[in-house]
Amino acid sequence: MNKVLLVTGGSRGIGAATACLAATDGYDVCISYRQNRTAADSVVHSIEQQGRRAIAVAADMASEADILQLFDEVDRQLGPLTALVNNAGILEPQMCVADMTFARLNRVFSTNVIGSFLCAREAVKRMSTLQGGSGGAIVNISSGAATSGSPGEYVDYAASKGAIDTMTIGLAKEVAKEGIRVNVVRPGFIYTDIHASGGEPNRVDRVKALVPLQRGGQPEEVAQAVLWLLSDKSSFTIGTFINVTGGV
């Protein structure tokens, strides 16, 4: 059976690393992106260079219509979905809760939580053995922030990732009997450009002394954990958290 993976937010950072690593493991890959078509095309090219099929689809995770179209494109261009990585997420500028606006909170939770729920819903519909599918795997990308709370910086982002953790536990138990395994990876301080969205591009260098390994992580190190959870090597693993945090 052909392996088909959807990686949301796959044009950069952890998503891009996961998509490219998946291609080496025999997956055809769809990545979604919000704005940067050039970066998305670069990832597609890298995957095609490995002899796998790849497509990039523009989709805002805060839009149900975009998500439905995204999954329709996977069906049409790549075939039956066998794996999903819920990676897309946004970060707003560093701020205390007392200063957060409704609009900010709505953006963060609509994208990071509701978007992930909708993608999981559509994946389950396609992969469930009770609905004619052949089973599959979902890996949700959470964050070490879900346990630290990110006080003074990103409590809203941290809370959205806490919601992803809880969703993973419940969904894993809900769909295990339908042939779908659901797990989560929690990255720590990883060198990606998401930190620039928070107003501090060099944040990892500032905080890496807090990491027992005394360094920040690379997207490829997170991708390795994701691919293990997608693979048959983790066939008896559901509702599990892998912390890729350097010991934080």
**The pLDDT value given to residue 198:** 76
How confident is the model over 93-108, as pLDDT tens digits?
999 999 999 999 999 9
Residue 220 has pLDDT above 80, yes or no: yes
Print the domain residue range for 199.
3-244
Q: Extract long-range pairs of 129-136: CB within 8 Å, 24+ residues apart.
A: 129/178, 129/179, 130/177, 130/178, 131/178, 133/80, 133/178, 133/179, 134/1, 134/80, 134/82, 134/179, 135/82, 135/178, 135/179, 135/180, 136/81, 136/82, 136/83, 136/84, 136/179, 136/180, 136/181
Closest C-alpha among 157, 63, 147, 70 to residue 112: 157
Mean pLDDT of 227-243: 98
The confidence band for 197, taking pLDDT boundaries of 50, 70 and 90, is: confident
Q: CATH number for the domain including 168?
A: 3.40.50.720
Residue 30: both structure tokens together: 């769809």
**The pLDDT value given to residue 244:** 98
Least confident of 72-81, 141-150, 201-210: 201-210
Residue 180 has pLDDT above 80, yes or no: yes
Say how many domains are in the chain: 1
How confident is the model over 4-43, as pLDDT tens digits?
999 999 999 999 999 999 999 999 999 999 999 999 999 9
- Kindly report the pTM of this predicted structure: 0.96
Task: For residue 216, give the 3-state DSSP assignment.
Answer: coil
Rounded Cα–Cα distance for residues 97 and 101 (Å): 9
Mean pLDDT of 221-228: 98
27, 33, 154, 157: which one is catalytic? 157
Q: Is 157 a catalytic residue?
A: yes
Closest C-alpha among 188, 73, 167, 75 to residue 114: 167
The confidence band for 72, taking pLDDT boundaries of 50, 70 and 90, is: very high
Average pLDDT over the chain reads 96
**The pLDDT value given to residue 196:** 73
Residue 1 has pLDDT above 90, yes or no: no
